[in-house]
Structure 1
């Protein structure tokens, strides 16, 4: 399902290997796509434009919130679920996005990993009208979503990075009262922004060096800093939190932590997108595929974390008592690792008048090779894993990454495959040890 298929929608659950990985028997029910529903149509429909997808949205919302530890730095921006059909009543026009028509989402992502902690629809699409919601400003969306994320969470200051469409002096003061620092660009016509720091010139003159800056600190709120920095044009910033201000540091922090939502959209729309490969007549089915893309994108991060977790050893942790292995375990491990020796095979061949060592295919490379992974040859073999003249050749160089760790084929064979006794069934192959050919000259080809 994670393969980016662009030809046709049905290949995402194809049963044959035509550029896709077979994924079960779901393809037998392709004709039942017309009966794809997510909610009962009988209950009264509240004023919710996405009432057909509400159970899916609520489930994903709770899973996204509980599936990841909250970071110290957030990135707040708007995302988009592409939708060009006019039947979609949530469709908006966003000229700054690669796909300009779609459903607008307010997204709060991890600035380091681009993990989406919360996605919220525009208030006009919301399913509840029990309390008044300020839908006129982007600042209200920032406060509303940050309150939900940090509800019942440990106290402590966090940083949220926003762009100039949301930032304002009033928002910075309100977030500071909520123990949230803010960093972002700002429009110069915002109320309360220092007019002395505003640069009126549209482009940088030759007399001013690129990278020049000026800043001012608020007297009533010493944590609040305003600055402008010269690129080709002047860029104005507003930040709270730093006790020592170096404007290049502020600018580098903004460039470093701001793009998480855009990275999330790139991963979802360019690498894993099911939504963009097919057009549905029902608009809510297309939106469902967009939410499914978000779930698949998050699953890729969980897979990466799981692989990293498997590499942790007890020696990594502090004050952990490492259990002493039994004598049988020590003996078995010593026989498996310490007793094996990696030897270079003394077999020579004459090629074009030059004498060289004969190379043979590596057993681990033969198991792990594929369309994109090459198989290598080597002159080294494991003496203990060999049987008389049938040698077990294994590469001595770290050419592959197995279990998120760079290892040699010799290490993979003994540590992960248990000297050939625990080869994963997913590889679908078996090892054959063949006797070496006769020593002599290589036949011309």
Structure 2
């Protein structure tokens, strides 16, 4: 970040005369090259903006003691912060940009995060894969609209999280349709799960997914990699057995089918208010009992253990979203990569 920010300042304000002994010289008289220690302070201030939000970022340097933040004011002046924010850059501004790489502006930074997230935490057995949103209202060709999410407009990420803590182990930004032959042949859902699970195969993890990702091919390939899956299934996805709807069910009744194609693959149909369809390779098909609702604890109903496990372990990404929502880092802007 330090090197790229300094080079960006030179690229935006090239010097009138080139000095070989000072490659960071610019025509901006008020700019001084930054260094790693100052860059850490700059990042800390941006994180603090989310912890201690104020109506205007200038309020952190206000002369009013009821408004200003002593930590920010003591470590960096407002004009210096504005200069750093203006020239801040994550990628090399001199190198040519790959027109096919929509994430070129942050590619190096994302690579560092994706390498370090798995090193910082060892997850438990249960993992979950789902989508998360980064709020953004500016113009962007691959901005997504998801009406059922708290953040409806923004940049979509596919995330792999630990089910218990919500820790993000891997993430994959979605930049629109495409993705090569693997996506065309096996589907986007299959490709996303296998991509984010790359570092966690052959470790006997149980991964929970929703109906966007579920497929027999995915369950089979994960099982060959000593990884087990449990997820909901869309009725119209041609994943379920043909005769799964022939049996008429009363409320809280269920039926199970064992796949003839994939070993240990179980299909489940359970009648709640409507039919719920599941596939699982980490379940023996038994039922358990649970209270009908949290307000009717004395009334017990039968429920397949696969559905109970799914409800307990699918919320890892939602937990991540909840924790992220408490502290929005930085300031809003029109530059998507920031």
Q: TM-score, normalised by structure 1?
A: 0.54
Matched, 1:272 2:327: yes
| Aligned match of 2:19 | none
* 1:73-88 matches, cutoff 5 A: 73-86=126-139, 88=140
Q: Secondary structure at the match of 2:243?
A: helix
Provide the rounded CA distance (Å) in 2 between the counterparts of 1:250 and 1:12: 51
What is residue 117 of structure 1 aligned with on the other side? Answer: 169
Distance 1:39 1:119, change over 3 A: same
Instruction: Determine if the alignment matches structure 1 residue 179 to structure 2 residue 226.
Output: yes
The one of 76, 84, 96 aligned to 1:44: 96
**2:135 is the counterpart of 1:67:** no
User: Number of matched residues?
Assistant: 268
Match of 1:231 among 262, 272, 285: 272
Task: Report deviation, 1:200.
Answer: 9.2
CA deviations on 1:84-129 (whole Å, 9 max, x unpaired) are: 101x233122222212211111100001100000111226599xx8
Deviation at 1:241, TM superposition (A): 2.2
The 8 Å contact of residues 5 and 12 in structure 1, kept in 2 or not, is answered as no
1:3 corresponds in structure 2 to 51
Equivalence for 2:314:
258
Work out the CA distance in 1 between the residues paired with 2:229 and 2:81.
48
Alpha carbons 1:14, 1:27 under 8 Å: kept = no
Hey, what does 1:107 align to over in structure 2?
Answer: 159
Equivalent in the alignment of 1:141: 192
How far off is 1:282 after superposition? 2.5
Per-residue CA distance 1:244-292 (angstroms, 9 max, x = gap):
53353111111111011111112112x01135xx43232322xxxxxxx
RMSD: 2.9
Q: 1:55 offset after TM fit, Å?
A: 2.3
CA contact (8 A) 2:259 2:265 kept: yes
Q: Structure 1: 5+ residue runs without aligned partners?
A: 286-445
- Of 91, 102, 110, the residue aligned with 2:143 is 91
Q: Which of 82, 85, 92 is the matching residue for 1:31?
A: 82
Say if 1:227 and 1:31 are closer, same or farther in 2 by CA, change over 3 A.
same
CA separation in 2, counterparts of 1:125 and 1:45? 20
Q: Where does residue 35 of structure 2 map in the other structure?
A: none
Helix, strand or coil at the partner of 2:197: helix
Q: CA deviation at 1:27?
A: 4.7
- Summarize deviations over 1:352-383 as a string: whole Å, max 9, x none: xxxxxxxxxxxxxxxxxxxxxxxxxxxxxxxx
Offset of residue 3 of structure 1: 2.1
Q: Return the structure number with greater relative CO, CA threshold 8 A, min gap 6.
A: 2
In the alignment, is the contact (CA less than 8 A) between 2:130 and 2:158 conserved in 1?
Answer: yes
